[in-house]
Amino acid sequence: MSIKRNELYIPHQAIVFAQQDNICDFSLDKVGYAYQNRESNIGHEDALWELEIHPTNGCDLLCKGCSYGSRHNEQCLTYEQVCRLVQENSKYDLKSVFFSGGGDPLHWNCWERFLNSVPKRFKYGISTNLYNFSNIKKSYSEIDFYQIHVVGFDRSECIRNTSKDVFELLDSNLKYLLKHRRSDQNVTLKILINKENYRRIPFYLDYVMTMDANSIILKYQQDFLHNRELARQEIVEEIRNTVYNHVIVGQYDYLIDNLDDSIFYVFPEPRECFFAKSGLYKLVDSKGRTFPCIAANAYGDSAVLKNNSLDIYTCMMKKKMCPLKACRHYRFSQYINQVLEGNVEIENKEYGDNGYLL
C-alpha cells in the first residue's frame, strides 16, 4: 500500500482507502484541469462542470449530528422540475449530475419515472444511506457513482445513531447493490467520525472490509463545535494509528491521509473564492433555488433577503466571497490560485474531465 499523507487530495479531515483505478477520482488536479479546460468560459454558466441537485429534504433516518437535520421538512422538487433542470443544463459541457442534499435523495419518489424517461447525457452520482433503495431498485444501474453513508456496523450501532432498527435492511440493500452492480459502477462507503464513535472505528472497518467497495472514506462529521475535541493532536494520532494498523490496509492500493488538513497551510488564503465565481459548479436545493457553492446554500434564506433578488446564483458569483472559508470549494480556490499563477503543473493525460467532486 502507498500512503499519500498531506498531499493534494479532495477529502479534508479524512482518511481514504482507494484502488489504483480510482485514486485519480480524489485528486485536486482534476479540479484544476476542469478549470483550465473551460478557461474561456470561466465566470459564465457555460463553464458548468458539475450540477448538484437536492431533490428532497426528507429523510427517514434522523442520524445524530446530521448537518442537514434542521432541513428535514419534506420539501421536494417535482418530477417536472428535476427533468427541466437536467435538460436545461445539458446544453453546457456538463460532465456529471450529483444528487445529494438536505435529506436522503432516495426519499424522493420519482426515481423510476425520471431515470426511465429522461435521456442520459452525462454521469449520475448519488449520496444516500440506502434506506429507500427500493425506490430505485429497478433502475439502480443507471447511477454511475454511489456514495453511501454507513450509519452503523451492527444492529445496536444503527439504533444508537438513528434511533431505528434498520441494520438488516441497510445491510441487505448494500450487499445487493455490491453484488449486482455493473463493473464500471463506483461504490464508495463513507463513515462519519464524531466524538461519540471514534473509538469504535475498528468495528466500522471490520464491517466495511467485508464489502467489495471501490473506496472507503472516514471523515470528520461537520458539526465541528460539537466534535472540537477531535482536533486535539493526540486524538488525531490515535485515529491515525487505529486506521493504519487495521487489516483493511491490505485490501487497498492507496491510503490518503488528510486528517491534518494541511492544505490550509500549504496555500495562502485566497483573495476571493475562485471556485464560486468560476461557474464550474451549480447547486439547486429542494426549494428550487440555485447557488454557486455549498456555503451559499447554507445561507440561502438570508441571501435572498440581503440581495433582494431570487437570482442568488448570479449575485453570489459576482460577490466571490465565502462566508464559511471551510468548505471543499474554498479549498479548491487555494489550489486554483496556484494554478493561475503557474505554481502547479497538471498532468492532463491522467486526470480526465468526467469526475465527481466527492
pLDDT tens-digit series, residues 182-200? 999 999 999 999 999 999 9
Strands 254-257 and 2-5: parallel
| Whole-number average pLDDT of the chain | 84
Determine the Cα–Cα distance for residues 163 and 156; give it in Å rounded to an integer: 10
In a domain, 94, yes or no: yes
Q: How many structural domains compose the chain?
A: 1
Number of H helices, E strands in the chain: 13, 11
Residue 175: give the domain boundaries. 2-340
- Other CB atoms closer than 10 Å to residue 24's CB: what's the count? 15
- Considering the entire predicted model, what is its pTM? 0.89
- Give 257-276 pLDDT, tens digit per residue: 999 876 555 665 666 677 77
- Give 228-250 pLDDT, tens digit per residue: 888 889 999 999 999 999 999 99
Is pLDDT of 165 > 90? yes
Q: What CATH number does the domain containing 217 carry?
A: 3.20.20
Q: Residue 315's pLDDT band (boundaries 50, 70, 90)?
A: low
Determine the Cα–Cα distance for residues 115 and 103; give it in Å rounded to an integer: 19
In a domain, 162, yes or no: yes
In a domain, 348, yes or no: no
CB 240 within 8 A of CB 201: no
Which phi-psi region, left, alpha or beta, contains residue 287 (left: φ > 0; alpha: ψ -120 to 50)? alpha
Give the dihedral of Cα atoms 64, 12, 299, 110; nearest 10 deg: -70
Which phi-psi region, left, alpha or beta, contains residue 130 (left: φ > 0; alpha: ψ -120 to 50)? left
In a domain, 352, yes or no: no
In a domain, 355, yes or no: no
Residue the block writes with cell 472497518 = 205
Residue range 162-176: mean pLDDT, rounded? 97
In a domain, 281, yes or no: yes
In a domain, 129, yes or no: yes
Determine the Cα–Cα distance for residues 28 and 137; give it in Å rounded to an integer: 33
Q: Grid coordinates in use for 270?
A: 485566497
CA distances from 233 to 11, 162, 200, 230, 238 (A): 19, 29, 18, 8, 9
In a domain, 357, yes or no: no
Bridge partners of residue 125, in order along the sequence: 98, 145
Q: Grid coordinates in use for 330?
A: 474554498
